[in-house]
């Protein structure tokens, strides 16, 4: 994975915890829209980390890039979110090489590769 774009619905601190080159949505302007984030990630071939269904929908319609990591952990505390993602991150890194979408659930990772 070359670069991670963290959607505004997730804390910027994830970049520090995951120790990965990335950008938080707030660094791209004041409240960028999902479409602006999608286009930016697509142009730069970045991976999007989000909780937002819109990125899943757009991936299904347009295909990658970008690839999407969709966090589906429900409402949990920030430190629990960071801890869970940190624990799963090595597996996510491995899976994102082949998958277009990784869904992060409380007890499982699901992958999807859109037919090209």
Query: Which pLDDT value is given to residue 1?
Result: 76
With a CB cutoff of 8 Å and minimum separation 6, the contacts of 115 are none
- CA 7 to CA 87: how far, in whole Å? 20
Q: Where is 51: in which H helix or E strand? A: none
pTM beyond cutoff 0.75: yes
* Domain boundaries, given as residue ranges, for the chain: 4-112
| pLDDT tens readout for residues 91-115 | 999 999 999 999 999 889 999 997 6
- For residues 7 and 44, what is the distance between their CA atoms, to the nearest angstrom? 15
| Each residue's pLDDT tens digit, 23-60 | 999 999 888 999 999 999 999 999 999 999 999 999 99
Residue 116 pLDDT exceeds 70: no
Q: How far is CA 82 from CA 19, 21, 50, 76, 90, in A?
A: 12, 16, 13, 10, 14
């Amino acid at each position: 994975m070359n670069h991670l774009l963290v959607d505004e619905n997730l804390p910027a601190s994830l970049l520090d915890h995951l120790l990965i080159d990335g950008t938080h949505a707030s660094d791209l302007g004041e409240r960028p829209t999902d479409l602006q984030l999608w286009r930016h990630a697509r142009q730069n071939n970045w991976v999007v980390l989000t909780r937002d269904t819109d990125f899943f929908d757009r991936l299904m319609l347009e295909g990658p890039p970008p690839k999407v990591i969709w966090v589906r952990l429900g409402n949990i505390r920030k430190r629990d979110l960071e801890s869970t993602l940190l624990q799963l991150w090595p597996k996510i890194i491995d899976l994102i090489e082949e998958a277009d979408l990784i869904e992060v659930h409380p007890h499982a990772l699901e992958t999807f590769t859109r037919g090209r």
